[in-house]
A and B are shown apart, each in its own frame.
Chain A
Amino acid sequence: MKKFLAILLLGTALVAPVAAYARDVTIQGQMSSYRGPEAYLAVYLAKPDGSYDSTLYVAGRKSRYYRDLSGWARLAARDATLSLDGITGASIGSGKSFSINLSLADALIDAGYTIHIDSAVEHQGSAADDVVLALDSGQSGSAQSGQGFIGSASVNM
């Protein structure tokens, strides 16, 4: 089980000057057994209208491969406030499980926001919106199956 801690103070999503307003949220997932090199993932938040809000986490250290996460890369290109410092971690191998700890503003929960995960694997293509998870406390912990390299993922809040 890999644990990645991302401390996020970016964009509109994360209003966390006072700790009391923030909530610990964990994204847990399981990669499918696609057999191949480790996957790059981009985890980002979308507004209730479906438009891009902010980037939460990127798995994979070589930034020149980020453009393979083409769906996310296009959206993030519009995000003038994006800084990747502190929100990147190691890429994730085939069949491995992963867990990403986030601290999100209370106001984002049950307000129609969604978490999108894009994935890409060297020589094997990419999957935009591999998994989309609703930030809905009613669905906390219920697993969604992925479309691409992610087997399943859930969000716990």
Chain B
Amino acid sequence: MKIKIPKLTFWSSVFWIIVALGIYSTILRFTKGLGAVTNLSDEFPWGLWIGFDVLCGVGLAAGGFVIAAAVYIFNLEEYKSILPSAILTAFLGYLLVIIALLFDLGKPWNIWHPIIMWNPESVMFEVAWCVMLYTTVLALEFSPFIFQKFKLEKPQKIIKSLTIPLVVAGVILSTLHQSSLGSLYLIVPEKLYPIWYSSNLPYLFFLSAVAVGPAMVTIESYLSSRAFKREIEIHILSKLAKVTAVALMVYLVLKIQDIIKYNLFSYIFTLNYEAIMFWIEFAFGVILPIILLANSRIRSSKKGLFIAQLITVLGFILNRLNVSITALENYTQANYFPKWTEITVTLFMVALGFALFRFIAKHLPIFPPEVSEKRKLLTEGFEVISIKEVFKEQT
């Protein structure tokens, strides 16, 4: 008898190794407690899981509200083709943030407590509500694809009639949420290293999320175009790149304002760990993407755009890790570095995200049929709509 050994490609073996290690760490986490799987301590209560899984996870999901606002609120129809995948990413992002929270919370079974135990003064309370409500909104925004697949017309109609209120709620909730993750740190002015403390933290977090949302959409389009062998909507993505560039420019202005307002020159021009981390973040995460994305040649090349936006994303991740980890090292003197089990859980979350996206994209109509030249012209406003169509849409 012949036994067929399934061929393992490089990435899928990486994937299964991560899953195995992730499951091992998960078991450890829920049988031995936080102390056994993390390097967290009384001095350093928040580590990689908050810094990456939550802060970055939420930020990287920002594509959902940026594109939804563009399509429905600003009526920019041309972005419609990437909306489903942006919403799916956001939804999966939030789901994974919730799963990551179940790992990080000391008493995960109490995660629902903010629903009935209120402390409206607390930023964390706001964060909790935003996560709950926005995940629900994203689920509803995404549900039409499931209804479509199973041909459920009635619920599809109901959701469709709710589109605008849902999108408005989604935009409000996610702007609140993106910024409130920054507000979390407003309460520790004496602990955060001065380079990163600013009363503008909520706005800085919001702006970088607006910048990184389109960047994530771009990366995901690029990767899925390779995985699913489809064309990239480069004309859309290069327009989105402008959104990133503009958001980063505003960010840059605010950050420079902070440097002047808080007189940070002596901090950023000394040679220490914090200053070096700041400059890496600032040069590679803000200035370099602005330069690259302002260049129309790069914007219109698939690879160039992909690399530029990848740099934006990496810079964003570094920024969140700097605020949540680097900025606290000096005060706490804890020398925190994540334990390997913390890292495997984080990788596990990322891998799960990829796998879920792939699975759903395969089975649901996330990617619309490729845009034909005719449609493209239409979205650019060159083609005239036939009278019949006008009447059809109005009645």
A-B interaction: no
Task: Please list the residues of chain B having a beta carbon within 8 angstroms of any beta carbon in chain A.
Answer: none
